[in-house]
Every structure is written in structure tokens, then in C-alpha cells.
Structure 1
């Protein structure tokens, strides 16, 4: 027993004292782990480089021809000069968000439009009441007469409905971005997409104020005829208000597209317009007739010269000679007639001068000859001739002649 126990003891002791060899197994594992880590770090570096490249390349953006852009660095516009702060069309780069942010706005050549219908009536109401409802129907006030025709203390006004079309552009992107509140774009939208709807309430409010002030300075007739001065005055006043707000908006045009009187007074306005048109027609005809008669009389210069007491006869003669129109024709005919009369008188004087010696010899014969020549000349110009020979026994004899023109004789004479 003791021997067996000793043998076992020696066997265990021998196993315990024998050295163990783990070196080869640990060297292979460590090497594999090191290789794996090295590959992992290499892949990670490549991924990080790619991510950095993608991050910075995402800062490249394009500005279209109808756009302008600004780069905000932590909310402040980047750049010192205007060219640096407002970027034009082409490729540009900015540090990606959140360091820098790109804001695009419509360019100056981009025209935006807003319709202003706040002064128009309710078109859905086809049966208007006797009175106008200011809650449902918009209107503006005009004067009854023009400013020039107004009398002292006169304050008569009229109501009209009007429609307007405002066209505008963003002239200063930086000023617009700083001073005009614009809705934050939703996902998939840009600032350009939300600007028209965001700015519309603001522009309508300012434009409405300009329209009210402008319309009250014009008459109802000028408004109905859509006088071009109304649009120009409203546009000018609106631009002044926008400039005072430093909003960077430039008014391109302010058009008065439609004007109409209240439907409740349709019959009265139609009658008034008809009377006004008739008065205008009569005034135009009168002025035309006046100008025609003045031109026939030789023009205003001749009339003023003849009636002026300060102009001498020589100057008046100059005006007469340079007259125009019918006066010139009358003057020419008068001069021709004067020449004809003078020449005829000279010819008659020469004729009588030649007959004087013969007349002194035989006066009765000469007078009879002159009488016969005169009768022949008179009868040669007549269309119908009636000769009645007197007789000694025809005392108190009735003589009747039909004085009606003989159509056959007249026609024969004309041929």
C-alpha cells in the first residue's frame, strides 16, 4: 500500500514539475488580431477620407441665371464687397451646413406678380341689395370733380370698385433678406418657392394704402376711363413707401386693370356716362368747327394781327399777303377782279376817246350805234328772248308772257 501510494505520489509530482509550452498558440492569435486591427484601421481611414471628401464636395452649389445667392456663416453674410456677398450665376462653394448656409433669392431680372382684388365687388352675388356691404365688397373713394374744378369747401365723393396688378422685382437681395420676413421653407422647398406667398400680404397692405391715397385725388370720370395718371401716381407712391422700409423691392408697374361703379347705381351711372360722352362729342365738334373757321379766315396769326391796334398798316399788309386758307383765295380773286375792272375801264375810255370826233359830227347816229351794241351784248347772254314790237293802234293792249323757264330751251342752251 505504501509502495503504491508513493508511486502515485511520484507520478503526480512528475506531471506537475514538467514545463508547459503555450508560446506557439499565443503568437498565432496575436498575429491574427494585429492583422485584423491593421486592416480595420486602414479601411476606417479610407472611409473617413471618403466622408471628408463627400462632406466638402457637398458644399458645391449652382446658381441659376434667374437667381442670386448669399452664403451665411453662422447666420452672418459672408464677404466684404457686394460682389463677394451676392453671388451671380455659376458654380460656387461653401462650407457645408451647419457652418455655412446658402440662401438663394430671385435675381433682379425675375418679375414677380401679385393681383390686388381687395377693392373689387362680390361677383358671386348676382342679386345685389340696395346698399353696399363693405365687409363683402371692397371699394375706393374718388372725387366727384377733378381737382381743378373743385370749389372751395366742396367735398363730394363717389365709390368705385377697382382691380390692380402689381409687378415687382427684388432689387437688393441683402436688404430684402435682412428686412423682410419670409416663411421658413418646408422640406423640398427653397426660399424662392415661398417668397411670393410670404411677401404677398405685406405688399397688398402697402399697395392698398397707396391706392386709397391715390384714388381720392382723381375724379370719378378719370377713374372710369382708367386714366394713365392714376396708375403712375399709385406706382410712385408705393415705391416711396417701400423705399422708406428698406425692403429691397422695386415696383416694376402698378396697373389699373378694371374699374366699375357700384351695381346698385348702374342705371344712374349709365345715364351720366351717356350725357358726358355727348357733351364731349359736342365740345370736340365745336372746337373742330372753330379751328376750321379760323383756318378759313387766315389763321390765328392773321386774326390777332388785324385786330391788334399796335400793328401798323405795312405790317398788316404783310400778314394779308401771307394769309392762308380761304382768305388767300378771296384776296387773290379780289386782286384779279380789280385788275379786270381797271383794264375794262381803260379799254372803254380808249374806245370813247376814239368815238369822240365822230360823236361831235353825228351824235344821234353814234348813240344809236352804242345802244345797238349794248342790246346785242345783253341778248347774247340770255337763254330765252321775247321781243314785242309796239304799234300805234295797240294803246292799252294787254300783253301776257309766261315767265316759267322752258326746260327744252334751257337744255338746248346748255348743250
Structure 2
């Protein structure tokens, strides 16, 4: 072949087949010279080799310093930093500038522990500010076997960063599942009329308590702060009938309120009149007793006087009686000795209506 012809120089490796290979020491020496030129230059020979070694050591020291500097990190005011050494939790750091052994020895997970996070269940807020319903989350069954559509929000924050990171996976999904389970349990033992009208606040409190109990059982490190019912209504297909029922319920409540108002007006008056009647009866009782007591006392005094002077007492009683009786009549008694000299007079003007003509 032409490549094997020693007289020709077209060998693709640029040398002849029997040319001697370069010495290994020579190769190392050339590399040292190149490193010397890269890290500041220098003369060839032993001096150049020393400078090359120093430059390599300096470069390694600089890289080591940069590696250590990469362990600096800042924790925000609303965060806590969980420090992991080969994946194991070793410390929790507060806000400020901190340092850890750089990767891959230690890593840091930052968690917003004071930030209140909001979770929507049964609906989602879209970009234009409207709410989009999620039927698979919102529809649930009440105690009286009616279907109700409920949308609500859960607000929570992290109370233990380490538990939040290591005791539960997919934290948002866990909170959502716990909230759905709690609301379905509470609604399942509540009547639909109560859910739609008077017991919304009680439902919120019960759901919040139950969610917190579930999350505490997981040791999730999550604190539920608020549960707020956004919308509670029947499904769209039966909402008209429920509105009719609600209207009838309002009419019933209005009638009850009007009856209660009438009762509040009449009952106090009746109680006042009853009290007045009782007081009048007590006053009459006291009056009759006092009068009877006085008459009895007077009779006893007359009896005592009668025993002392019967004739005088009898005549005085007769005169008193006649005076009392005759004082109420229109009769005039005239002594017989003067009766013949008195002209009889009949006052017809004062007897109008009293005289009967036959």
C-alpha cells in the first residue's frame, strides 16, 4: 500500500511507521509549561514546574472558598429554613442570614410559616374574577337525603416546618382531601333547612374542628385558621322549587313574628289588667274588713252605752235612724199645732216625671 511505502510522506498521522513515540516525561513537562503560562507564565525548567504547582493549589483553594461561600443563605421574615444533612433533618433556622455545609453535604428547604394560605373547595377563581364550579367537590348529601351544593374556603398556615415537610406528601392535596371529608361528614348529619338558613356558622365551626383533628392525626404541622362557606344552595335543576320552599318558609317566619309582636303587645296589657284587678280586690278586701271592724267596734260601744242607760240609748238610736231615713226623702214633717196655719204647697216643677196621672 502507498501508506507503507517508506519513500512517500502521505501517511495520515504525519509520521513514518517506524518513527519513535514521544517520551512520557516529555509530555508531562510540556503540560506543566502550558499550565505555567495559563496561571501567570514563567520560565521553562524546574522553576516553571514550581510555579505551576502553586497556581494549581491556589485554584483549588479558591474553588474550596467558593464552595464554602455557597452555603450562605437568607431566610425571609415569614419563613423558616429546615436544614438537611444527607436528607436527614438536623436543624430549623429562623429569619436572617445563615450558613450550612454546602451541597451535597447539606441542603435547605424554606417554608413560609406565617403566611396564611387559602384553599378553594367546590369552586375555582378564574382570571376574570368569576368563579367556576367544581361539581365533584361541591355536591354532597344531607341528613334528610337531599343534595346540596356547597362552595367554601379553608385558610391555614404552617405551625411546624419539619412536620409539614416530612410527615405528609403533597401537602395541598392532603388539606383539600381532609376538608372534603370533614364537610361531607358534617353535612351528612345536618338537615338541609338548617344548612340553607340558620346553622351555617355552626357548620363552619364543626368543619374547622374536624379538619384540624384529621391533620393533627397526620402530624402535618398545619394550623387551620378559618373555614368560610361561600355559597350554599340546591343544585341548579331543583333551585326553583327550593326557592318556593324558602319563600314559604319566609312567609311562615313573618307570620310567626307578627303573632309574636301581637302577643308581646297583648300579654303585657292583660298582665297589667290582671294585676290591677288583684290590687283592686285587695283594696276592697281591706276596705270591707276595716268597715266591718269599725261597725263592730261601734256596735260594741253602743252596747256598752245601752247597758248603762237603756232608755237614753234607745231614743238616741231611734232619732239617728229617723234622721238617716228621712234625710233621703222629700217629705216635710210639720207639727200638728202649726199644720192648720200652713198653706200646703206641691212643687210640681221638681216632681216632673215622678207624678203619674190616672
Q: TM-score, normalised by structure 2?
A: 0.63
Q: Which has the higher contact order (CA 8 A, sep 6+)?
A: 1
Task: Please give the residue correspondences for 1:97-176 in structure 2 after superposition, counting only pairs within 5 Å.
Answer: 97-107=103-113, 109-117=114-122, 138-144=138-144, 157-176=145-164
What is the CA–CA distance in structure 2 between the aligned matches of 1:98 and 1:365, rounded to whole Å? 132
Find 1:368's aligned residue among 304, 323, 326. 326
Unaligned runs of 5+ in 1: 1-30, 79-84, 125-133, 145-156, 183-198, 299-324, 373-385, 397-415
Give 1 or 2 for the bigger CA radius of gyration: 2
Residues 258-302 of structure 1: CA deviation (Å, up to 9, x unaligned): 11123333332222122223333444565677788877788xxxx
Find 1:212's aligned residue among 184, 207, 211. 184
Unaligned runs of 5+ in 2: 1-41, 306-312, 331-348
SS at match of 2:169: coil
What is the CA–CA distance in structure 2 between the aligned matches of 1:347 and 1:387, rounded to whole Å? 38
Residues 214-252 of structure 1: CA deviation (Å, up to 9, x unaligned): 212111111112522212222233233333334333322
Distance change >3 Å, CA 282–CA 35, structure 1 → 2: same
Q: Cα distance, 1:364 vs. partner?
A: 5.4
Distance change >3 Å, CA 135–CA 63, structure 1 → 2: closer
Q: Cα distance, 1:113 vs. partner?
A: 0.7
What is the CA–CA distance in structure 2 between the aligned matches of 1:206 and 1:76, rounded to whole Å? 28
What is the CA–CA distance in structure 1 between the aligned matches of 2:350 and 2:243, rounded to whole Å? 72
Task: Please give the residue correspondences for 1:306-325 in structure 2 after superposition, counting only pairs within 5 Å.
Answer: none
Q: TM-score, normalised by structure 1?
A: 0.55
Contact kept, 8 Å, 1:119 with 1:162, in 2: the verdict is: no
Q: Cα distance, 1:51 vs. partner?
A: 3.1
Find 1:223's aligned residue among 192, 195, 217. 195
Contact kept, 8 Å, 2:75 with 2:81, in 1: the verdict is: yes
> Alignment length, in residue pairs?
281
Q: Cα distance, 1:141 vs. partner?
A: 1.6
Residues 26-49 of structure 1: CA deviation (Å, up to 9, x unaligned): xxxxx9435555555555544443
Structure showing the higher strand proportion among its residues:
2
Aligned to 1:92: 98
What is the CA–CA distance in structure 2 between the aligned matches of 1:361 and 1:209, rounded to whole Å? 104
Residues 36-72 of structure 1: CA deviation (Å, up to 9, x unaligned): 5555555554444333223212212222221111111
Distance change >3 Å, CA 173–CA 362, structure 1 → 2: closer
RMSD: 4.2
Task: Please give the residue correspondences for 1:2-401 in structure 2 after superposition, counting only pairs within 5 Å.
Answer: 32-33=43-44, 36=48, 38-78=50-90, 85-107=91-113, 109-117=114-122, 138-144=138-144, 157-182=145-170, 199-225=171-197, 226-283=199-256, 329-342=276-289, 357=315, 360-361=318-319, 366-371=324-329, 388-389=351-352, 395-396=357-358
What is the CA–CA distance in structure 2 between the aligned matches of 1:40 and 1:238, rounded to whole Å? 67
Q: Cα distance, 1:166 vs. partner?
A: 0.7
